[in-house]
Structure 1
Amino acid sequence: MKKLILILIDGMGDHVSHKLGYLKALELAQKGVKFTLESELPSLSRPLYETILTGKLPIESGITNNRIDRMSKEESIFSLGKKSGIKTAAVAYHWIHELYNGPFNPEQDIEVENSEKNINYGRFYWEDSYPDSHLFSLTNKIVKDKKPEFILLHTMNVDDAGHKYGGLSKEYEDVVYKLNYYLSHYLPIWQEAGYEVVITSDHGMDINGNHGGDSKLEREVPFWILGDISKNYENVKITQRDIKKICCEILKIN
């Protein structure tokens, strides 16, 4: 059985994806492929977490806005992983806990270790400004200590900067540039440990720091598949709904 890390960079539009020079270097070395996807609608975070992790459109899942805080009713990568007997993990915003593990209590659920949950090992945060650097370090510790077959790393600093300064601002770009260091440092470690890596975003960000609509800035997002498996997808047409299927193919779970 394969191992996979899915990195979800919240709020990063495709228009700034070229700032990630390390990923471009992997593409040029034929160690990865990149796609530009169009997010589903509405281009909002919680509905699109559900699309990415379950393959369902927001109007199908019923998660159509950010204020719907019930648990998902769909089969996700986490629930399928649990049924297949693999260990799952997430270092993610608390909305991920609400969708796939249930109601979130910050006093109790900041750390989760429970084999009965869809997400067996979780480290959850609730401040959008919680440092991406800490999230990569926490992910690395879970990888070393728990060795899950599937782990979601979900960062929020790009989205936070976009809302504060706009999707075409220097501040927004600066946070994307910072990700270069974390990716170039940790990806080789995780790949050496046997993990495949997939990277994407849920939605983009317009000039005024908004998303939810149908503009190019709000909807176009990048999607990378790294490593040798990327050659299997070079000439494949991919939509945001296909990410769940691709992750399950990599993990070899039904």
Structure 2
Amino acid sequence: MNKKLIIISFDALCKDDLNQIYNLPTFKHILNNSVYSLDVEPVYPTLTYPNHASIITGKMPNEHGIVNNTKIQPNRSSPDWFWYRSDIKCDTLYDIAKQNGLTTCALLWPTTGEAKIDYNMPEIFANRPWQNQIIVSLFAGSKLYQLKLFRSFSYLLDGIKQPNLDDFVTECTLYTLKNKKPDLMFVHFTDLDTQKHIYGTKSTQVKEALLRHEERLKRIFECAQDLEYKIAILGDHGSLDVHSTISINSYFKDNGLLNQIYFKSCDGSAYIYLRREGSSSIKNKIFYALEEFKKYTDSIEYIFTQDNSTKLGFDKRALFMLEPSFGYCFTDKYIENYIAISKYKAVHGQLPHKHKTLFCVFDKNTSKTDLKSIKITQIKGILENLLNIK
């Protein structure tokens, strides 16, 4: 018999938060009575969309296709995100669940737009001036289901601002558990990630966000236990405090190379693509220019080449992948002197070993088990075993 499972992703929850969440009763109870790993390595770049795709596919970004949060759209000031199921190039956990006859639900889970999910409210933004947020969401997911949720709980919303959005998602989760009882449910919370970006990893606002997550988790956990659900909790990446942002676009413009490359920020890392296939001499010129920038600013730690894509898992179409030095991040914007004060206090996107996160599954019939160190790509297999599906 298949078991019911709810998977909760607390965006940006990581090993650095363990000291605080072990002092929160619901988090502590679940962690102390679960199959768990407190040493989960995410994928590179350590962004929300690539890692959520890896959780549900068991594959690296260069395999599943979600290589960044946003797409390469050079002529748009606000590129679209990888919102749609069609962007993922392989099977997902919710596809396999459907094939095995399970009912599915997703609430603001990344890259689920137009997915074949029974109850689906995808994470998607109104990214054009003429678009309306509710209409965009309705047409990318389950229309009648979402209409019911918006009519019942939209009073909690203030656009997509936090903590309002996660309060809305909490009520949607509880309603769905009680009234729809899906076999497999995915829920994505972003309050913590938002506070880390704006205020930094050690801020009061981050501590308050974790307290709000504790209250959300308590309510969902109590409801899930009454309905005999297993509950999985995970993070997708950590966050690193930064002080400065780097504009490679400005540097390449001043060096006459901007017409050769397309620079794409991943916040805590960055891609460099060729605009068109170039000769070895052009590629070498770009590389040497980066080496000069690295040497004289000390703001770049590594310059990875296409040869590193297989091992690290980033987009194999990129000519280079840049890893910043501690305290730095990247921007697509133009900055006159190449480096400026960052508008964010913390970012992610850097190498996976800098962003260890956690994973656990609570089942009242299973004893506490430490999985030790695992990779985020292993989570799909663990969840399939829990659901008894393949």
- What interval of TM-score do these two structures reach, taking the shorter chain for normalisation? 0.7 to 0.9
Are the structure 2 counterparts of residues 182 and 237 from structure 1 closer, same or farther at C-alpha, using a change threshold of 3 Å?
Answer: same
Q: Secondary structure at the match of 2:89?
A: coil
- Mean CA deviation greater in 81-90 or 224-233: 224-233
Sequence identity (%): 23
Count of matched residue pairs: 246
Return the TM-score normalized by structure 1.
Answer: 0.85
Instruction: Tell me how far 1:131 sits from its aligned partner.
Output: 2.9
- Alpha-carbon distance in 1 for matches of 2:171, 2:383: 23
Instruction: Tell me how far 1:155 sits from its aligned partner.
Output: 0.4
Tell me the C-alpha RMSD between the 2 structures: 2.9
Computing the radius of gyration over CA atoms, which structure comes out larger, 1 or 2? Answer: 2
- Alpha-carbon distance in 2 for matches of 1:201, 1:9: 5
Aligned to 2:29: 25
Verify: 1:113 aligned to 2:142, yes or no. yes
- 1:62-83 per-residue CA deviation (whole Å, 9 max, x = no partner) reads 2111113252121111111111
Aligned to 1:85: 101
- Alpha-carbon distance in 2 for matches of 1:215, 1:53: 18
Question: Does the 8 Å CA contact 2:37/2:374 hold for their aligned counterparts?
Answer: no
Verify: 1:97 aligned to 2:97, yes or no. no
Verify: 1:160 aligned to 2:296, yes or no. no
Identify which of structures 1 and 2 has the higher relative contact order when contacts are C-alpha pairs closer than 8 Å and 6+ apart: 1
Instruction: Tell me how far 1:44 sits from its aligned partner.
Output: 0.7
Instruction: Tell me how far 1:250 sits from its aligned partner.
Output: 1.0
One-letter amino acid matched to 1:155? F
Taking the TM superposition and a 5 Å limit, the aligned residue runs for 1:61-72 are 61-68=64-71, 69=82, 71=86, 72=88
Instruction: Tell me how far 1:96 sits from its aligned partner.
Output: 3.0
Return the TM-score normalized by structure 2.
Answer: 0.57
- 1:110-157 per-residue CA deviation (whole Å, 9 max, x = no partner) reads 48438xxxxx96679982524322211111111111110000110011
Verify: 1:247 aligned to 2:383, yes or no. yes
Structure 1: give runs of 5+ residues left out of the alignment: 115-119
- Mean CA deviation greater in 102-111 or 152-161: 102-111
- 1:14-70 per-residue CA deviation (whole Å, 9 max, x = no partner) reads 201332222223444x35644321111110111111101111111222211111325
- Alpha-carbon distance in 2 for matches of 1:215, 1:237: 13
Verify: 1:13 aligned to 2:14, yes or no. yes
Taking the TM superposition and a 5 Å limit, the aligned residue runs for 1:1-254 are 1-20=2-21, 21=24, 22-28=26-32, 30=33, 33-68=36-71, 69=82, 71=86, 72-92=88-108, 95-98=110-113, 100=115, 106=133, 107=135, 109-110=137-138, 112-113=141-142, 127=160, 129=162, 130-208=164-242, 209-214=346-351, 218-228=354-364, 230-231=366-367, 233-235=369-371, 238-254=374-390
